[in-house]
Structure 1
Amino acid sequence: MQPTVWDYLFWALTFVATVVLLRNCYIANGGESGVKFSDKLVSISWVMLIRGFLFVFLPLFIIGSMVATFVGISLGYNDEVTSKLVENCVLGEALIFEIWVWLRIAAHIRDVRESRKMIAS
């Protein structure tokens, strides 16, 4: 199966979101004056990916796929078009999930940095 325009668009948006939001995480850690960025990023990412998968992606996937299927059926689309509609919906849901995870990681890194500053002072 050949990649579609939507696949390329998703890949481009994912790359841009990753670069921008990874920089956001770096800034949330304090930029150049931050400490142990990679340690925080890896440990917080692991937890947020599990939480996000269970509480964001799965509900989005189930509800979004059902809605896309019902829309496809109600508009009288054939099975192939409805299937493509569901696939494109899942790509959008994956992008929403990715952005949510990165934003939560940045928020938690910021919280850890601020709590350390309060303890130190």
Structure 2
Amino acid sequence: MPKTPLVAVVDDDEAIREALCDLLMVTGLACSTFDSAPAFLSGDAPGHVDCLITDVRMPGMSGLDLLERMRAGGSDLPVIMLTSVLDPSARARALDLGAQAWLTKPVADDALLDELKAAIGAEDWPDEPGH
């Protein structure tokens, strides 16, 4: 039986973390949530997840700082950035660092799932329910 892809969600807003995790689990993905970038980095999560969804603006370490630190450490983990603020320079920086996508909140479920499918790979994507 194939391994269920695990997606980490890093966001300082509990409601957003819960909503994203609910969406992922309904889709057939596993989800792990973190309330800050340091919480994500402090465990062994970076080496055990298949994709990271992170908020850009968080207290302390931002999502951009998290992406930068991961890339500096040699990680090629796919990262999807979420933000509620239009910031072309931050978007350019994230994409230069290899972010899979830059999505504006509120993000449409289909748009997020399409980016996740591209990041994880269609071959590892869970079957549609009922198939």
Higher helix share: 1
Higher strand share: 2
Using CA pairs below 8 Å that are at least 6 residues apart, which structure has the higher relative contact order? 1
